[in-house]
Chains A and B, each alone.
Chain A
C-alpha cells in the first residue's frame, strides 16, 4: 500500500459525527423554542393590532423572511465581528436562526389567534372571564389546534435550515461531514449518511405531530 494523504472513514469518527448530530439537534431546539415563544408573542400582537402597527411589524418580518438565511448569517457575524464583538458561532447562529424562525412562526400564530371568532371571545367574556383569561383558556388552545400542522412544518424546516449555520463555523452535522469528506474523500457515503441522520432527527417530530393531530381530532 502506498502513501496516501487521505484517511478513510472509520469507527473512530463516530464520536465526531455524534457531536455534529447533537449540535444540530441543540441549535434546532434553541431556535424552535425561542422562535415559537417570540412568534407567539408577535403573532398575538399582530392579531390584536391595527393596520399601521401591523404594517410596521410586517415589514421587519418581511425582511427576515425574504433575505436568504445564509446571507443573514454571514452579514450578522461579519457585522458584530467588525464592530469589535466577535461572537461564538453557536450564539450568533442561535440568534439569527431564532429570529428567522420567529418571522415564520408569527404568521402561524397570528392565523391561529384570528381563527377564534369574535363571537367565541364574547361568549367567553360573558361568562365573566377577563381578557387575559380568554386568551389563556380559549384563544390560545383553540388557535394552537388550528395551526398545529403549520407549526410542525416550520419546525421541521428549521431543523434542515440549521445546516446553513455551518457557514459561520458552527460544527453541526453538515460542517462535520464536510470536514470528514475533505479528509476521507468519500463524499457519497458521508452525504448519504448525513441525509439519513437528518431524516432520523426529523422523523420522530413528524410522527409525534401526526399523533398529536389524531388526538386533537377527537
Chain B
C-alpha cells in the first residue's frame, strides 16, 4: 500500500504540492488528471524519492520513503517508473536494456536476468526485437521497452508519468494496450495521464489535481462523469471539448 499524507513540495519559492493525501491499495489503479503545472508528475517523483519533500510523509509498504534511514535505492526496486520520455539505453540492445538492472541491482545471474527480460519483452509485444538497438524503433516500441525494463525488476507498484504524451497519436494505442494488460495482471498502478477516456476506463480511483491540491477524488463515475467541483467541470469540458 502507498500512503501519502499531507505532502508539501516546493521548488525554491514555488510551492508545487500543497498538502496531498492519497492512498493506493494493492491491486488498485489510480489515475491522476489535471492541467499542466498542477503538480501531478511531481507527486510521482516524490513517491520514489527522486524529489525530496518539505512536509508530510509517504509510506510504501509501511516504509517511510523520505526518512533518513531509508535506503532509497533499495526502495526504488519496489517502484517501477515509466516516464514521458522513454530513455532507452542507446548503447544496449533491447534485451540488454531489460536485463541490465536485474543483473547489477538484484544480482541475478546473466541467464536468469535474460530469461526474465525475454518474458517481459514478449509480454509487451517485443518478442521479435531482442537484438535490435532501441534507437531504431518507434516511440511506441521504445515506450513498451521502458515498461518491460521496469517490469523485469519485479516491482510491486508501477508509476506512469504521462507515458503517452510524447508519442505520435497513432502510437498511443499500443502503449495504452500495454497498460491495460498490466491492469489485467493485477498490477498496482498510479498513472498520471491526459488520456481522460483511458483514465475512466481503467481506474478504480481518479484524482483531479489543481494548483497543488487534490480538488476532487473518487471513482471515475464520480469524478469524470459527474464532477461536483466547478474546477473539475471546467477542466473536463476543456479536455473533452
A residues contacting B by CB (< 8 A) are 119-120, 122-130, 133, 137-138, 141-142, 145, 216, 218
Contact = CB atoms under 8 A, between A and B. Distances in A.
B153 A127 contact: yes
Interface in B165-192: none
Interface of B: 48, 50, 73-74, 76-77, 79-81, 83, 85, 87, 89-91, 100-101, 104-106, 133, 146, 149-150, 153
Nearest to A138: B89
Contacts of B76: 125-128
Given A128-B153, A129-B105, A123 B73 contact: no
Q: Which applies to chain B's interface (DSSP): helix, strand, loop or mixed?
A: loop
A25 B235 CA distance: 70
B39 to A, nearest CB: 18
10 contacts: A124-B101, A126-B79, A126-B150, A127-B100, A127-B149, A127-B150, A128-B101, A128-B153, A129-B101, A130-B73
Contacts, number: 60
Contacts of A124: 89, 101
Contacts of A128: 73-74, 76-77, 101, 105-106, 153
A126 B81 contact: yes
A138 B101 CA distance: 11
B100 A137 contact: yes
A138 B87 CA distance: 11
A218 B83 CA distance: 25
Contacts of A141: 91
Q: Which 5 A-B pairs have the closest CB atoms?
A: A123-B87, A127-B101, A126-B81, A128-B77, A128-B105
B101 A123 contact: no
Given A122-B50, A126-B80, A126-B81, 12 more contacts: A119-B87, A122-B87, A125-B76, A126-B76, A126-B79, A126-B83, A127-B76, A127-B150, A128-B101, A128-B106, A128-B153, A216-B91
A163 to B, nearest CB: 36
Nearest to B135: A218
Contacts of A125: 50, 73, 76
B50 A133 contact: no
Contacts of A126: 48, 50, 76, 79-81, 83, 150
B150 to A, nearest CB: 7
Contacts of B80: 126-127
Given A122-B50, A127-B101, A142 B79 contact: no
A129 B73 contact: yes
B71 to A, nearest CB: 10
Nearest to A126: B81
Contacts of B104: 129, 133, 137
Nearest to A143: B91
A145 B91 contact: yes
Given A125-B50, A125-B76, A126-B81, A142 B89 contact: yes
Interface centre among B73, B79, B91, by most A CB within 10 Å? B91
Contacts of B48: 126
A133 B106 CA distance: 12
Contacts of B77: 128
